[in-house]
């Protein structure tokens, strides 16, 4: 198995084999928590306009997402696990669009299969890949706004890489590096868009035992949940 490390939007475009699009803060952590709150299905798009159009045709759809960390005007939710865990999403259809993670899913057109990952489902992602035995795995750290390096995404890629090799990576040093690096914004009282609770919720390796696979579903993509026995 060849394991490649890529970054940002261009990395997603270059990804082949099984592409693992990584967005720890916060798209795919948020998606996992949405399924944890009972969501029936999560659709993703790169466009807020597509999200609004979908809701016009499907009233009752929950719109979630952000631009520059701020909840999109007219959406029901932002991109925040701490908001999600306070909302009952039982059987709801959610459309999610974000500045980095969902863009990466859409751009990974060369990949055979596309997975969405954060620390909260990293062990399930690794187990899924080991079961599939692909020739190539592309780990894509999306970074901040898909253009700036982010400690959490790079370290999550390393974490998954280690799991794929059968190793048991130490998470605490990673958490500390993230806390002092790009995760510091969650501890800035002036930053109202990044609550500290989100930092803690996103950094719980293996909290959810499922892989999320992005597959085409009409004009959008479906994040299909597959439960994994680890």
Residue range 133-166, pLDDT digits in tens: 999 999 999 999 999 999 999 999 999 999 999 9
pLDDT per residue as tens digits for the range 87-108: 999 999 999 999 999 999 999 9
pLDDT at 84 over 90: yes
Cα separation, 210 vs 230, in Å, equals 9
pLDDT at 10 over 80: yes
Label residue 218 by pLDDT band (50, 70, 90).
confident
Label residue 85 by pLDDT band (50, 70, 90).
very high
What are the residues whose beta carbons fall under 8 Å from the beta carbon of 60, sequence distance 6 or more? 92, 93
pLDDT at 16 over 80: yes
The torsion angles phi and psi of 9, rounded to 5 degrees, stand at -60, -40
Could you say which of 3.40.50.2300, 3.90.1560.10, 3.40.50.150, 3.30.420.10 is the CATH number of the domain covering 2-223?
3.90.1560.10
What mean pLDDT, rounded, does the chain reach?
97
Label residue 37 by pLDDT band (50, 70, 90).
very high
Cα separation, 119 vs 198, in Å, equals 13
The torsion angles phi and psi of 43, rounded to 5 degrees, stand at -105, 145
Query: Order of strands across the sheet with 113-117?
Result: 2-7, 136-141, 18-22, 113-117, 210-217, 220-227, 41-44, 93-97, 62-67, 70-71
- pLDDT for res 219: 86
Judge residue 40's burial from the number of C-beta atoms within 10 Å of its C-beta, 0-12 exposed, 13-18 middle, 19 or more buried: exposed
CA-nearest of 53, 73, 69, 49 to 61 is: 53
Please state, for a pLDDT cut of 70, what percent of the chain lies above it: 100
pLDDT at 230 over 80: no
Mean pLDDT over 183-195 rounds to 95
- pLDDT for res 217: 87
**pTM above threshold 0.95:** yes
Q: Domain extents for the chain? A: 2-223
């Amino acid at each position: 198995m060849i394991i490649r490390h890529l970054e940002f939007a261009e990395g997603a475009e270059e990804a082949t084999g099984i592409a693992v699009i990584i967005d720890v803060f916060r798209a795919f952590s948020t998606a996992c928590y949405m399924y944890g709150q009972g969501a029936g299905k999560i659709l993703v798009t790169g466009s807020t306009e597509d999200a609004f159009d979908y809701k016009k045709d499907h009233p009752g759809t929950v719109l979630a997402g952000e631009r520059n960390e701020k909840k999109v005007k007219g959406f029901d939710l932002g991109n925040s696990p701490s908001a999600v865990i306070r909302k009952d999403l039982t059987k709801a259809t959610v459309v999610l669009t974000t500045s980095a993670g969902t863009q990466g899913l859409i751009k990974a057109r060369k990949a055979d299969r596309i997975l969405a990952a954060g620390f909260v489902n990293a062990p399930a992602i690794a187990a899924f890949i080991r079961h599939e035995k692909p020739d190539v795995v592309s780990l894509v750290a999306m970074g901040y706004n898909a253009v700036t390096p982010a400690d959490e995404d790079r370290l999550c890629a390393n974490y998954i890489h280690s799991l794929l090799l059968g190793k048991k990576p130490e998470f605490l040093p990673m958490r500390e590096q993230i806390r002092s690096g790009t995760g510091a914004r969650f501890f800035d009282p002036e930053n109202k868009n990044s609550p500290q609770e989100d930092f803690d919720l996103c950094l719980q390796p293996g909290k959810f035992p499922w892989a999320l696979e992005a597959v085409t579903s009409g004009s959008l993509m479906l994040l299909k949940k597959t439960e994994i026995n680890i």
